[in-house]
Amino acid sequence: MTNGTFTDGTDPWWAGGTTVAARDGRLCADVPAGAANPWDVSIGHNAVPLAAGARYTLRFTAQASAPVTVKANVQLNEAPWTTVSSRDVALTSQPSTHTYEFTGSVDSANGTLTFQLGGAAAAYTFCLDDVSLTSEPGEDPGDGPEQLDNGRFDEGTLAWYSYGTTDTGVVDGALCTTVPGGLANPWDAGVGQNDVALVAGAQYTLSFRAKGSSAASVRAAVQLGEDPYTASLAQSLTLDTAWKSYSYTFTGAGDSAKGQVAFQLGGAATGFTFCLDDVSLVGGRAEEPYEPDTGPRVRVNQVGYLPAGPKAATVVTTSTAALPWQLRDAAGAVVASGTSTPRGVDAASGQNVHTVDFSGFTRAGTGYTLVADGETSHPFDISAELYRRLRSDALQFFYIQRSGIAIDGGLVGAQYARPAGHLGVAPNRGDTDVPCQAGGCGYRLDVRGGWYDAGDQGKYVVNGGIATAQLLSTYERTKTAATARFGAALGDGSLRVPEHGNRIPDVLDEARWELDFLMRMQVPAGQPLAGMAHHKVHDQAWTGIPMQPQDDPQPRELHPPSTAATLNLAATAAQCARLFAPYDAAYARRCLTAARTAYAAAKQHPAVYADPNDGNGGGTYADGDVSDEFYWAAAELYLTTGEAGYLTDVTASRHHTGDVFTSSGFGWASTAALGRLDLATVPSGLSTSERNRIRQSVLDAAGRYLTTQRGQAYGLPMPGDAGGYFWGANSNIINNAVVLATAYDLSGRAEYRDGAVQAMDYIFGRNALNQSYVTGWGEHASQNQHSRIFANQADQRLPHPPAGSLAGGANAGLDDPYAAKLLRGCKPMFCYVDHIESYATNEVAVNWNSALAWMASFLDDQGTAAPAAAACTVRYIDYGRWQDGSGYTGQVEVTNTGTTTVDGWTLRFAWSTDPVLREAWMGKATQEGATVTVTNETYNQRIQPGATVMVGFNATTALTLAKPPPGLFTLNGAVCGSA
């Protein structure tokens, strides 16, 4: 560095967004407030020579007039601006000296040292002194290609795994992790990298630097990453508390693409911190770059299209001019043609694309193909029944994912049959009598049942909560949405579940399996935090793949309660109460009690958060903002009870008037949208103006999603940059489609329906990879999702995931080692691989399939024309509760607003909570579940234009719930307006 002590003024240091001056032998800059990005205010030193492999030490003294964190970056000073080292530096008003070591990754004379100072909310003064950057040559790693990714940890922990440890992360450019003491074996804890190609007889050199907080013994191994774990190198070493370099040369013991570099850290009597840097494995053969097979360049919904729905495709081409296209039937005859619309380069895929719109073709048929630019698409169908089976497939996933029950092959196929898991039968050690984590509580709980969350066999209240809510809402939508026809397709017997035949809709039976588990997770009365819900239950340590539930030998543990989990219980149990009330009043009462108790406990303990480091053996599902869960839970309790206290909490929440529909969609950590959607659709005592405002917020969000969708050449309602492709993004894309679908249910405007339907094209293959993300649906569908149960790719004796299983989808974060190694540098839409090891792009999860199940039900409802609006209005009159509180009397008045006589009529509506029809007059009335059907008497069979017929009724109520007017009335199948 030149003039790092600033005795000669400020040259050659530069500044951007501020000015610098030498003050008392220091370089100082006044940093303004409000800069959007750290780099908007910077100072630095150019012409820094950089050498790949050289070891550098950056040292400086700095201070700030107020506490602030800045960035110290060493990077290339020209495109592609490669960062060699980036460190966050916490400063106070007292001078502090900082020393950072790193290894060069580029060769250039045009490097730069930059201090990025922007982004603080308040202005401050930054001062710098005694800056030096020194280097020493790096060691020659030897001949051959590098087999490891991110060995210097410049990209965080990308491509590296850890297990049995805590607090794993990058500290001062090195990978560090905390290792517990008392583990029995070296391999009980470790860090490493999988999928390393090894060649028998090839020479390799493994080199790295390591240190420990104590002189612990560890083992460095290069071995097969699966049984029998044959080692090519297994070297024990004793750590020093200072950095020490290690290098080992060895010969590959066998050929495998499943090699592994492993640092086995278990076995020490006391815990210690292990740090690792500059890891390199050279030798063997260079890997061939991964090129996905994307099939024909004409991308369609591989399942097909609804006759009256939108029909769009995307063509990948080098042409910038419009192209002719042809739609051909199964016999190859041309049935429609036109020209494409050039769309330029799609940002998410990097492809030059055109779009094709053939919505005008409506003839049903099978085996259609679309031809353009010399390419023929995968075949697809046009059918009103296109999604009929998807409705049941997506819901069927949940039965097969159940815990604590034998899965009946007679219901779902012999390949999915298995004994009950986690019922305390050896080798299982749960879930009928589960203790808390050490020191967590003094009781044990029976937490059997529920659904296994995803690829693991943990059970999580927050993820189970949103999944349960979406299954319940799939059914609840049938009471208010005209196209749902009061749930005829979701009734008892519609699913292959053991409870069918009990006169309860099967989707509610399935939700009940999880609801029972959620309520079992509630802390018992008399205990600390009584009424709250434990955050999760799972294995004490990670298990391998495959692992059938009944074979899991790991101890199970209850993890501490959290406010987020408690509010998920409150919200779902409240929704349970109003939906189960017509079928099982005792169960509804139990749900309501659990919901009230949980909500009260959450208000008493509003800031109990799950530990973000509690991830050994299961996911963390940490959530540091539970304001959205409070809003959701209060909304569900208000809709169920109608009580003013819950409404007060709803209206006091910032989410009630804020925008809860973000561009990236809602999910388990952002649940305010669930409350808003139910407040918009479920009948309640809200004022007309307030209900209209809430409904308009849904329409406004849907309008934004339509605008986004129209700007995407692949037709999805999600931004086309890396920010739109993250872990589980497919479910968020579908959840945005749910908002569009709800807007259609509320308004009847076809543009919202078409947007929702078209959004699913992306899920079923109209994407850059030509990949259908739903198993069993499409010509090229995901089938190797990350799952310990459906692990066919790891063990061919096991099945693939069942039809209707949704994969997580493209994830630009590349958050698992397999994807990070295979897909490095991918464009966002290409960041997916159908491989069992890629849990960050290709897992299954209950909260993803619940979104698919809701949307599949909506899609199937759109196969036939929506019921027309009838020339009628309805007035619903509630005369109030009886003196003993056991019921009430009401009346429905139907007026013919048309010009022709109605000759014979059937009126239908569904109560939102618990009324049970006792008797009716001036009409023959029956009730099935919540749905009431009234047919005319002989004397009022005809309704003249302008005339009104009245039907009176008495209804009993087993619970004291809200009883608003029904949200939907149909006359002879057509929708009536409100009087």
Cα 529 to Cα 915: distance, rounded to the nearest angstrom? 35
Radius of gyration of the chain (CA): 31
Cα 802 to Cα 393: distance, rounded to the nearest angstrom? 8
Cα 582 to Cα 592: distance, rounded to the nearest angstrom? 14
- Looking at residue 939, the DSSP 8-state letter turns out to be G
Cα–Cα distance list, 647 to 472, 531, 607 (Å): 21, 21, 21
Pairing of strands 380-382, 304-305: parallel
* E strands present in 255-360: 256-264, 272-283, 298-299, 304-305, 312-316, 324-328, 334-339, 341-345, 352-357
HSE (side-chain half, CA atoms, 13 Å) at 363: 11
User: Is 146 part of the annotated catalytic residue set?
Assistant: no
CA dihedral 799, 550, 523, 475 (to 10 degrees): 30
Is 559 within 8 Å of 536 (Cβ atoms)?
A: yes
- Looking at residue 527, the DSSP 8-state letter turns out to be S
Catalytic option among 636, 834, 837, 914: 834
Cα 222 to Cα 192: distance, rounded to the nearest angstrom? 10
- Looking at residue 702, the DSSP 8-state letter turns out to be H
Catalytic option among 45, 422, 534, 786: 786
Is 775 within 8 Å of 805 (Cβ atoms)?
A: yes
Residue 585 neighbours by CB distance under 10 Å: 16
Instruction: List all residues 6 or more positions away from 792 whose beta carbon is below 8 Å from its beta carbon.
Output: 783, 784, 798, 799, 800
- Reduce the DSSP state of residue 185 to 3 states and report it: coil
Strand-pair partners of 261: 193, 222
- Looking at residue 319, the DSSP 8-state letter turns out to be -
Cα 853 to Cα 848: distance, rounded to the nearest angstrom? 9
User: Is 786 part of the annotated catalytic residue set?
Assistant: yes
Cα 398 to Cα 404: distance, rounded to the nearest angstrom? 13
Catalytic option among 552, 816, 843, 914: 843
- Looking at residue 905, the DSSP 8-state letter turns out to be -
Cα–Cα distance list, 204 to 146, 262, 722 (Å): 10, 15, 36
CA dihedral 676, 681, 685, 688 (to 10 degrees): 90
Cα 92 to Cα 98: distance, rounded to the nearest angstrom? 13
Is 521 within 8 Å of 445 (Cβ atoms)?
A: yes
What does the buried/exposed string (b/e) look like for 624-658 if buried means 16 or more CB atoms within 10 Å of the residue's CB? eebebbbbbbbbbbbbbbbeeebbebbeebebbee
User: Is 834 part of the annotated catalytic residue set?
Assistant: yes
Q: How many residues does the chain have?
A: 979
Chain-centre distance for alpha carbon 322: 37
What stretch of H or E contains 851?
helix 846-861
Question: DSSP per residue over 137-165, as a string?
Answer: PPP---SS-B--SSTT-TTTTTT-EEES-
Which are the catalytic amino acids? 786, 834, 843
